[in-house]
């Protein structure tokens, strides 16, 4: 199998890289965290000293999984970045969740070097990253996507091409705004039940199979009842995604008032020191707002 360069071994990138190793792909990995690199190398990967070295060692594919647009720009275009080590014919698959504007700009830069870029952000959080069952939404050249699809399928249960470069990021932003609004609706509804003297757990059981049922209701309501907010998907990362939603919305003239309101809620939680908690901790926001506890008494 061909060697893949993998850059970014955080809460998502690390299990994704491990799943590629389990599938038999040789990896050359790089991250600023030496501990993360060591852990993945103990599973069979080789370490690179820089992003450029990881790109140079890759046969064709270079995967990036990084926090936000500035990090991807630095890894691609900065000192010792991918642009310094890549060669014509390679493919960069950026699986980070970044601005589609940034994605298209980087794609244009890489195209000048003869390198194709695919944006392929993911949804599902750490648990699905570990299981290899992420939802992957991709944008880019169809032929390049079809060739890369077997690799992506080692990390995701669904792998879908949704359009040209940047379309994957747009799809991820749609996903994130729906998830954020849905979680806030779950929290608001459960807080109303508690304030009105009705057991939120019984409300959950009564509505979960009806039209109000959703994956967010199934996943997040039990967390709220148990006060169990270990991530999952961290508030600070969802804040980043919602900023990207608003930036993109404004760039195309689309209104997103609910996303803006959920962003304000999440910023309030972050300002109280909760930025590292799961985004289901919107339950805490509504507990404070209504002076109730959603935890089982």
d(CA 256, CA 86): 38
Q: What is the pLDDT of residue 125?
A: 84
Residues labelled as active-site residues: 172
Closest to 85 (Cα-Cα) out of 117, 108, 62, 109 = 62
Report the range of poorest mean pLDDT among 67-71, 188-192, 257-261.
Answer: 67-71
Closest to 238 (Cα-Cα) out of 218, 219, 264 = 264
> DSSP 3-state assignment of 103?
helix
Q: 133-182 pLDDT, tens per residue?
A: 999 999 999 999 999 999 999 999 999 999 999 999 999 999 999 999 99
Q: What is the pLDDT of residue 127?
A: 87
Does the pLDDT at position 239 exceed 60?
yes
pTM: 0.90
d(CA 45, CA 260): 41
By the 8 A CB rule, do 231 and 276 touch? yes
Largest CA distance in the chain: 65
Domain 170-290 maps to which CATH number in 1.10.10.10, 1.10.3720.10, 3.30.565.10, 1.10.1040.10?
A: 1.10.1040.10
- Is pLDDT larger for residue 296 or for residue 118? 118
Mean pLDDT of the chain: 96
Q: In the Cβ-directed half-sphere of 70, how many Cα atoms lie within 13 Å? A: 1
Give the sign of the dihedral formed by CA 277, CA 35, CA 65, CA 157: negative
**Is 297 exposed, middle or buried (CB count within 10 Å of its CB: 0-12, 13-18, 19+)?**
exposed
Does the pLDDT at position 296 exceed 80?
no
What are the sequence ranges of the domains in the chain? 4-164, 170-290
Query: Phi and psi for 18 in degrees, rounded to 5?
Result: -65, -35
Does the pLDDT at position 297 exceed 70?
no
CATH number of 4-164: 3.40.50.720
Q: 28-71 pLDDT, tens per residue?
A: 999 999 999 999 999 999 999 999 999 999 999 999 999 999 99
* Structure tokens, 275: 């930025």
Q: Which own/partner contact pairs does 78-84 have at CB distance under 8 Å and 24+ positions apart? A: 80/50, 80/51, 80/52, 80/53, 81/50, 81/51, 81/52, 82/7, 82/51, 82/52, 82/54, 82/55, 82/110, 83/52, 83/109, 83/110, 83/113, 84/52, 84/55
Does the pLDDT at position 23 exceed 70?
yes
Taking residues 221-244, what's their average pLDDT? 94
Q: 75-129 pLDDT, tens per residue?
A: 999 999 999 999 999 999 999 999 999 999 999 999 999 999 999 999 988 889 9
């Amino acid at each position: 199998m061909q060697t893949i360069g993998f850059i970014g071994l955080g809460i998502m990138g690390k299990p994704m890289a491990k799943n590629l190793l389990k599938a038999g792909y040789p990896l050359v990995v790089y991250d600023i965290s030496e501990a993360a690199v060591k852990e993945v190398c103990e599973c069979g990967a080789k370490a690179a000293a820089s992003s450029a070295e990881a790109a140079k060692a890759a046969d064709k594919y270079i995967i990036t999984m990084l926090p936000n647009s500035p990090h991807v720009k630095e890894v691609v275009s900065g000192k010792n970045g991918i642009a310094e080590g890549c060669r014509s014919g390679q493919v960069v698959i950026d699986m980070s969740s970044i601005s589609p504007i940034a994605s298209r700009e980087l794609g244009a830069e890489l195209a000048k070097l003869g390198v194709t870029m695919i944006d392929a952000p993911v949804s599902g959080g750490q648990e699905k990253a570990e299981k290899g069952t992420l939802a992957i939404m991709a944008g880019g050249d169809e032929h390049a996507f079809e060739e890369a699809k077997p690799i992506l399928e080692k990390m995701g249960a669904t792998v879908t091409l949704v359009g040209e470069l940047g379309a994957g990021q747009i799809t991820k932003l749609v996903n994130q705004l729906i998830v954020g609004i849905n979680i806030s609706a779950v929290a608001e509804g459960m807080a109303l039940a508690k304030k009105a003297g009705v057991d939120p757990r019984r409300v959950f059981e009564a509505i979960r199979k009806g039209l109000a049922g959703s994956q967010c209701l199934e996943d997040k309501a039990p967390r709220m009842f148990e006060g169990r907010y270990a991530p999952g998907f961290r508030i600070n990362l969802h804040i980043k995604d919602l900023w990207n939603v608003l930036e993109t919305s404004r760039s195309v003239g689309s209104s997103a008032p609910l996303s803006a309101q959920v962003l304000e809620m999440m910023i309030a939680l972050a300002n109280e020191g909760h930025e590292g908690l799961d985004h289901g901790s919107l339950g805490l926001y509504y507990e404070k707002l209504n002076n109730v506890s959603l935890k089982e008494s």
